[in-house]
A and B are shown apart, each in its own frame.
Chain A
Amino acid sequence: MLPNDRGYRFSGVESSRKVHDLRAELTSEKKDPRQQRKKIAMKKVVANMTMGNDMSPLFQEVIACMSIPDLEVKKMVYLFLINYARARAEIANLAVNGFEDDLNDPNPLVRAMAIRTMGYIYVERVIESLIDPLRHCLRDRDPYVRKTAAMAVLKLSMFDRSLVEEERFLDMLKDLLADGNPSVVANAVAALTEISERSPHIKLKLNMKIANKLITALNECNEWGQIYILESLMYVVPQDSSDAETIIERIMPRLQHGNSGVVLVSVKVISYMMNYVSQVETLEPILRKLSPPLVTLLTAGPEVQYITLRNIQLLLQRWPTILQNQLRAFFCKYDDPIYVKLAKLEVILSLTTEDNARVVLTELTEYATEIDIDFVRKAVRSIGRIAIKIELAADRCVRALLDLIQTKVNYVVQEAIVVIRDIFRKYPNRYESIIGTLCENLGSLDESEARAAMIWIIGQYADRIDNSDEVLGTFLESFLDDTAEVQLALLTAIVKLFIMRPTAGQDLVPKVLKWATEDVDSPDIRDRGFIYWRLLSTDPELARTIVLSDKPEITAEGERLDMPLLEELLLQIGTLSSIYRKPPSTFIPFAKKRVLGV
C-alpha cells in the first residue's frame, strides 16, 4: 500500500466547507460585469475536481453558469459535466436545455464544444437529444464543427453500436470522406476505422478511388490527420501490382516527416503494399528508400529508438536486405538505457554477416566488460549465436569466449559456458581441446543453466574426459539440492557415461536412478529415470541407440518468428503487438485479427 499517493485530498469536513465557499462565490450577487468572479470561482471548482474533491453538490450553480456568454467559463462548465454528469443522471438531465441552446449558437466553437461534450455523457436523455443535432452538425457549414461531430459519432458508437448503425451515421461518415476540408476527412476516416475495428460485423474495405482521394487530402492535413489517413490505407486491398505501386509512390514522401509516428505508419503501409508488388526489381529501390528514415529515427529519444528497434527486427526478418551497411548505427552507446541496448543487440545479430562478423565481435567483446549484468550476459550469448550462425566466424568466437572466461567474472563465465555447449552441439568434435579450460571453472558454477550446460558437455564427451566419472560424481553429491534442470542433465549425463564407459559409470548409475525415481518430486525426472532404468535393464543396445543418437541440428535463429505470426505482426508495425511480438487478440479483449487480403 502506498503511504498516500494523493496526499493533499481534503478531509470530508474541509471538502464540504470548500463546497460551501464556492457555492457562495458562484451565486454571489456582487457586481461582476465581465464575469471575472465567476470565472475565478469556476477555475477553483475545476482545480478541486481534479484533485479528487467531490464538487458534484455544486451542479445546480454550475449549470446556471452555462448561460454566461464567455467561452472560457463555458469550457469549464463542460469539464464539470464530463466529470460528473455521467454518474448522476439528474445533473445530465438538467444540462440538456443548456446543450440545446449551445448547439444552436452562432459561434461554431460553441456548437462544436457542445457536441463534443454530449458525446462523453452516456446518459439516456442526453444521448437521445444528441442524435438529431449530431446529424445537423455532420453537415454544419463550419468544418471545425463537422470534424468534431465525426468524432462524436465514434463516441456514440462506444455507447451503443447498434444506434450508430440504425441511424445511418456510418453512411454520413462515408460521405465526409469526400469533404473539401482535409481535417474533416481525417477525422471521418479515423472514426470509421475505429468503429469498424470495434464492431464484429462491420468490415471496412476502401477502394482505390477512395484511397486516391484520401492520399490527396494527406498532403494538407496536420500530422495527426496524416496518421489517421495512412492508418486507413491498411484497409485498401489493391487489385493488382500497379495499384500497390501507385500507393507506395504517393506516400513515399511521408517517410520524411518530423513526427516519428507518421514515419513508422508510412513504413507499415509501404511494407503492406509491397506484398502486392509482383516484380522483384520494383521492390529493391523501395527497400533502399526505407533505410534512411529508420536510421534517422534512431537519433531520436530512447523511447522512440526502442519502438523503432523492435520493429526493425520484424522488418529485417521479412526483408533481410534493408539496412545493409548500416550496422554501425546500431552500436550501443554507453548511456543508452538498458532496454535500448538489448534491442540494439538483437538487430546487430540480425545484421551480422561473414563480412562484418569481425567488427561485430570486437564490439560485442567491448560490451561484455560493461557493468550492467543483463547486458553483459546478452552480449556473451550473442557471441555464441554468431558462432552458430556464421561458421567462418566460429573459431574467432570461441577464442573471444575463452578470453572472457579468463576474466573470471563469475556471471560472464557461466554465460559463456552455456553458449559453448550450443557451439559444441553445432560443431561436434571440433573444439574439445577447450574442455580443460572449462573444467577449471567447475567450482564457480552456481547457476542452474550453467551447471546443466557443463554437465551436458561432460556427459557428451564422457569417453574423452579422463576423470569424467569423478567430476560427475562430485556433481551427484548435491543432486537432491539441485534444480530439476540440473537433475535432468545429470541423470542423462551419467547414463551416457555408463553406456560409453560401463566400468566408470557402474557406481554412479544405480545411485542416480534410485534418487531420480524415489526421492525426486518432478514427474519429468521420475519418468525419465524409469525409462532409463527399464531401457538399460531390458535392452542395452537399444539404450545406446536412443541415448547416444545424433542430435537434431541447432540454429542461431531461435528467436525467429513463425511465418504466419510474422505476417500478422508486419500488418501491425509500430503498434503494441509489434513490440510485444504477440497478436493483438492475445492481450486486447476485442481486437480483430488482421490478415493479408486478396
Chain B
Amino acid sequence: MAFFATLKAAVNIATSQSYDIDWREPKVKEAAIVHWEEVKAAADPALPLAGLRLTAEQKSKLDELLKGESVFPDQPTDELLDGMPDAIPSASLNRICGSIIDNCLNNHNHAVVAASDDVAIQRASLVVVPAFSRYLRSVASLHDAEPVWSAPLDTVCIHVQRGELIYVGVVSREVAALEVLELLEGVQQALGEYIGHVTELTLKENFATVYQLLSEMVDSGSAVTTDTAVLRGLVPVPSLVDRVIENVAGIGMRAERRPAVNTSSTPWRAPGIRHTNNEIFVDVVERIDATVEAGGAVAAYDVSGDISCNARLTGMPDLLLAVNRADAMDDVAFHPCVRAARWDAERVIAFVPPDGQFKLASFHVAADPAASPLLPLRLHAATSRLPDQSHAIEISADAGHTAGRPVEKIHVRVPLPANAYNIRVQCKAGSHTVSNVRLPQVEWSLKALRPTERGARLTIHYLLRAPSASEPPLSAGNELGAQAAFVDFEVAGYSISSLKVESLKLLRESYKIFKGVRYVTKAGSFQLRF
C-alpha cells in the first residue's frame, strides 16, 4: 500500500504548479527594476507622492521603508519592491481615467489618448500608459493588439484605434468592457466634431477644449453623455464663427445659456431652429458582408443597413416614415429621437429629427436560410503554380443581382506574401497598381461593370523569394502564396433587400418640405478566398 501513497504524492507534484512570484528570481527582479525606473522617471519630483490617498498604514510603511531618504532612491530595495504594489492604492482609482496623457509611440507614430479626471489616476497612468505603449510596441502589428490588456498596478487598459490615435481607458475595477469601448468611441467622435482632424498636434492645440469636453463626458469615472448635440450646449465649439459671435455678443451670452439637457423633452433638438428651405434627405445604405470561396460558393453572407437623414427643417417637425418591408428589418436600432413604442405597435418610424446629419436607424436584414445569397458582383478566383515556379492568380468579376444597374467603384485589393517579387499584372479592363509599402499588394480598379457587359479579368504572376538563411526554417509562410482578396463596390439606386421608403409625412408644422430618398448597396467586409 505504501506504493500508492507515493504514487498519489507524485501525481500531486505533477499537477500542482506554483504561480507565486519570487522577487529574488533574477528575471522578476530585473522586470521590477525596469518598472521602478519608470515610476521614478515619471514621478514629478515637485510633488512627492502627493495626490495619492494613502492609508495611515501604507504611509507609515512607506516612511519606514524610505527612512527619511528621497522618495525615489536610485536602487529599489527588496522591501520597497515588495511594498510597491500597495504604494498606489488601487481602490482610490476611478472607473475610467480621464485627462490626456500625451505619449508618442516611437515605432508606430501613434499618440495615445488616455482619459482621466483624477490626479491619482494620472499618476497611475504615468506608469500604466508607458507600460501599455510598450505592450503595443511588442506586438507584431497594432492590428493584433488585444483590446483588453492587463496593466501594472491592478489596472486594465481597454483601447480602440481610430485614425492616427489610440484611445485608452484605464480601469481599475470591474466594468462593462463595451461601455468603455463605446465611451472611447464617443470621445473620439466628439473630439472629431470639435477639433476636426484629430492628431497629436491638434489635440495639443486644443487642450483646454479637450479637457472641458472630457469633464462633461465623464464624471467620477462614469460616462455622462456622448451626444454632441448636448455637449455643444455645455462646451463652446472653438471655431472662427464662434469667436466672431463672442466678440459681437459679449461674454455674458454663453454663461446665460442653460444646459440644453434639462429644459427640453427633445434634448437632441434645440428650440427655435429656422431654415429658409425646408428639406430632408434620406439615405438608405445597405452593406453586404461576405466571404466567397474561390469557386464562387458563398461561405458567409450577411446584409446590414442604415437609414441616415440630413434634416434642415424649421421649428419642431414631427415626421412619420413608413417602409415597404418592415419585417425584413431585423434587430433595428434607432436614434434616441425615434418613438420605439410606435415602431413596436405599428411598424412606422415616428420622430422629431435632430437638426442636420444623423443616423436614424441601423438594421440587419433577416436572412432567409432557404434562399441563396444575392450578390451584386460575382467573383471567381483560380490560383496555380506554373512550371517556372511562379505563382498565378486569376480573378474574374461579373455583374450579378443589381436589377439592371451597373456595379460601380469596383476595387479589388490582393495582398501578396512579404517575400513576393517580380510581380506582373494583366487586366484588359480597368486600371491596376502594384505597391510595396508594408507588404506587396496589387490593386485593381474598375469604374463600372454593366450587367450586359462581359465580365472583367485580372491576372497576377509573381515569384517567391527563397527563405534566407537567417530566417527560421520552420516558418512555412515562406512557401504560402496569396490567400485572399478584399473587394469593394457600390450599386447606386439599388437596395439588395428591396427595402423602400414608402412615405415620409410631416406633422405638427404646416410648411411644405422637399424630400429626397437615395438608395445604395455597398460591399461591407467582402472577401474572396483563394
Contacts and interface: CB of A to CB of B under 8 A. Distances in A.
Interface string B117-152: 111000000000010011000000001111110100
A306 B265 CA distance: 36
Contacts of B261: 143-144, 183
Nearest to A539: B3
A325 interface: yes
Given A307-B181, A531-B10, A264 B176 contact: yes
Interface stretch (B33-41, B420-428, B448-456, B495-503): B33-41
Contact of B176 (A86, A257, A303, A574): A574
Contacts of A3: 106
B225 A224 contact: yes
A109 to B, nearest CB: 6
A102 B227 CA distance: 27
Interface string A247-264: 000000101111111011
A286 interface: no
Of B10, B178, B234, B417, most buried by chain A (CB within 10 Å of CB) is B178
Nearest to A260: B178
Interface stretch (A363-371, A500-508, A513-521): A363-371
B344 A253 contact: yes
A331 B179 contact: no
Contacts of B173: 197, 588, 590-591
A219 interface: yes
B529 A334 contact: yes
A60 B41 CA distance: 29
B215 to A, nearest CB: 7
A228 B524 CA distance: 33
A181 B259 CA distance: 14
A556 interface: no
B212 interface: yes
A182 B434 CA distance: 57
A108 B258 contact: yes
B474 A589 contact: no
A98 interface: no
A577 B174 contact: yes
A6 B103 contact: yes
A50 B234 contact: no
A299 interface: yes
Nearest to B230: A222
Given A222-B225, A256-B333, A307-B177, A335 B477 contact: no
Nearest to A116: B219
Contacts of A574: 176-179
Contacts of B224: 151, 187, 224
Interface string A67-91: 0011110011011001100111000
Interface range on chain A (Cβ under 8 Å from partner): 35 or more
A87 B50 contact: yes
Interface in A314-335: 325, 328-329, 331, 333-335
B234 A222 contact: no
Contacts, number: 300
Interface string B500-526: 000000000000000000000000110
A265 B175 CA distance: 11
B220 interface: yes
Contacts of B262: 108, 142-144, 181
B133 A34 contact: no
A590 B234 contact: no
Contacts of A261: 176, 178-179, 181-182
Contacts of B208: 42-43, 46-47, 72, 76
Chain A interface mostly helix, strand, loop or mixed?
helix
A182 to B, nearest CB: 10
Interface stretch (A22-30, A129-137, A277-285, A406-414): A406-414
A223 B41 CA distance: 40
A292 B9 contact: no
B277 interface: no
A584 interface: yes
A209 to B, nearest CB: 22
B23 interface: no
A363 B299 contact: yes
B226 interface: yes
A108 B263 CA distance: 12
Of B145, B224, B267, most buried by chain A (CB within 10 Å of CB) is B224
A110 B258 CA distance: 10
Contacts of A253: 340, 344
Contact of B9 (A2, A224, A306, A527): A527
B99 interface: yes
B117 A82 contact: yes
Interface string B92-122: 1011000110111010000000000111000
Interface range on chain B (Cβ under 8 Å from partner): 35 or more
A183 B262 CA distance: 9
Given A46-B208, A260-B178, A531-B3, A86 B119 contact: yes
Contacts of B301: 328
Nearest to B210: A50
Contact of B47 (A87, A308, A535): A87
Contact of A122 (B3, B53, B172, B484): B53
A589 to B, nearest CB: 6
A143 B267 CA distance: 13
B223 A224 contact: yes
A75 B34 contact: no
Given A224-B225, A261-B178, A299-B304, A371 B477 contact: yes
Contacts of B46: 54, 56
A591 B174 contact: yes
A369 to B, nearest CB: 7
Of A2, A523, A589, most buried by chain B (CB within 10 Å of CB) is A2
A2 B234 contact: no
A589 B230 CA distance: 36
A94 interface: no
B255 A70 contact: yes
Of A35, A227, A263, most buried by chain B (CB within 10 Å of CB) is A227
A292 B177 contact: no
B77 interface: no
Contact of B524 (A51, A264, A299, A371): A299
Contact of A575 (B9, B177, B254, B259): B177
A50 B211 contact: yes
A93 interface: no
A541 to B, nearest CB: 13
Contacts of B148: 306-307, 576, 579
A466 interface: no
Nearest to A297: B178
Interface stretch (B66-74, B245-253, B404-412): B245-253
A328 B99 contact: no
A57 B431 CA distance: 63
A410 B472 CA distance: 11
Contacts of B334: 256, 258
Q: Which 9 A-B pairs have the closest CB atoms?
A: A87-B50, A303-B147, A409-B476, A334-B484, A261-B179, A292-B331, A258-B333, A261-B178, A43-B208
26 contacts: A1-B34, A50-B207, A79-B211, A79-B215, A83-B119, A86-B50, A87-B47, A87-B51, A108-B262, A144-B262, A194-B222, A223-B226, A256-B331, A261-B178, A302-B147, A303-B147, A307-B147, A307-B178, A334-B483, A371-B480, A411-B476, A575-B176, A589-B90, A589-B91, A590-B91, A591-B173
Given A264-B176, A531-B10, 7 more contacts: A46-B207, A194-B222, A258-B334, A292-B330, A527-B9, A528-B10, A574-B176
Interface of A: 1-3, 5-7, 34-35, 42-43, 46-47, 50-52, 54, 56, 69-72, 75-76, 78-79, 82-83, 86-88, 107-110, 116, 119-120, 122, 142-144, 148, 151-152, 154-155, 158-159, 181, 183, 187, 190, 194, 197-198, 219, 222-224, 227-228, 231, 253, 255-261, 263-265, 292-293, 295-296, 299, 301-304, 306-308, 325, 328-329, 331, 333-335, 337-339, 363, 366, 369-371, 373, 407, 409-412, 488, 523-524, 527-528, 530-531, 534-535, 572, 574-577, 579-580, 584, 587-591
